[in-house]
Structure 1
Amino acid sequence: MEKSLAEMQKEVDRYISQFKEGYFSPLSMLARMTEEVGELAREVNHNFGEKPKKSTEEENSIELELGDILFITICFANSLGIDLTEAHDKVMHKFNTRDADRWTKKDTE
């Protein structure tokens, strides 16, 4: 089942709302996001770089690390009252205007 960003934000909020602690502070979430990006970097390096995994390291995947980053991004946005669909639309507008001629477009025949 396909979910919209708004649905994902609501789902994460329902999950977090069941705990007294609620959302972490913005600084703690930034630290957590940084940790997750580091874990993604490690997986990418294991899969595409020159650093193979040790036999003692846990199996993990780029997919799971991206999922963790998406979760913390949604938590961050929710805690600050940011609508991620609106944020996405603003970013796409920026790319479609400011960067409209930055890259070589594919031929559309």
Structure 2
Amino acid sequence: MEQSYTTKEIQERVDDYISQFKEGYFSPLAMIARLTEEVGELAREVNHHYGEKPKKSTEREKTVEEEIGDCLFVLASFANSLNIDLSATFEQSMSKFETRDKDRWTKK
């Protein structure tokens, strides 16, 4: 059975995990570096599955879903480390797109 989480639950679960370690959250600069690494891994998987670059025979099989999950974990960690509510920032972004870009694309 698949579990569904709210952004608040995602952030709480990530915080519960990270809070068990003395090191805690990384600095913002280290977080952005980690996020960049994970997005790069996601790009590599997308290129393997949908692009022209086949995997090497020595490369471990990963999935696009796995890499998106890793990006989400790091993004939630980053938000937590800066006391940012992902739900609130998502609402701000969607509001911006729904107003600024409401007539940008061809409606169905």
CA distance in 1, matches of 2:55, 2:48: 6
CA distance in 2, matches of 1:47, 1:8: 27
| CA RMSD between the two structures | 0.6
CA distance in 2, matches of 1:6, 1:44: 28
TM-score (ref. length: structure 1): 0.95
Alignment partner of 2:35: what SS?
A: helix
CA distance in 2, matches of 1:36, 1:2: 22
After superposition, residues 88-99 of structure 1 pair within 5 angstroms as 88-99=90-101
- 4+ aligned runs moved over 3 Å, structure 1: none
Unmatched 5+ stretches in structure 2: none
TM-score (ref. length: structure 2): 0.96
After superposition, residues 74-85 of structure 1 pair within 5 angstroms as 74-85=76-87
CA distance in 2, matches of 1:37, 1:58: 17
Partner of 1:69: 71
Quote the offset at 1:60 in angstroms: 0.4
Partner of 1:13: 15
CA distance in 1, matches of 2:56, 2:21: 36
Quote the offset at 1:32 in angstroms: 0.6
Indicate the percent of aligned positions where both proteins have the same amino acid.
Answer: 65
**Alpha-carbon deviations, 1:53-100, whole Å to 9, x = none?**
111101101000000000000000000000000000000100110111
Report the number of matched residues: 106
- Equivalent residue letter for 2:15: D
Quote the offset at 1:3 in angstroms: 1.1
Alignment partner of 1:76: what SS?
A: helix
- Equivalent residue letter for 2:95: H
Alignment partner of 2:56: what SS?
A: coil
Unmatched 5+ stretches in structure 1: none
- Equivalent residue letter for 2:77: C
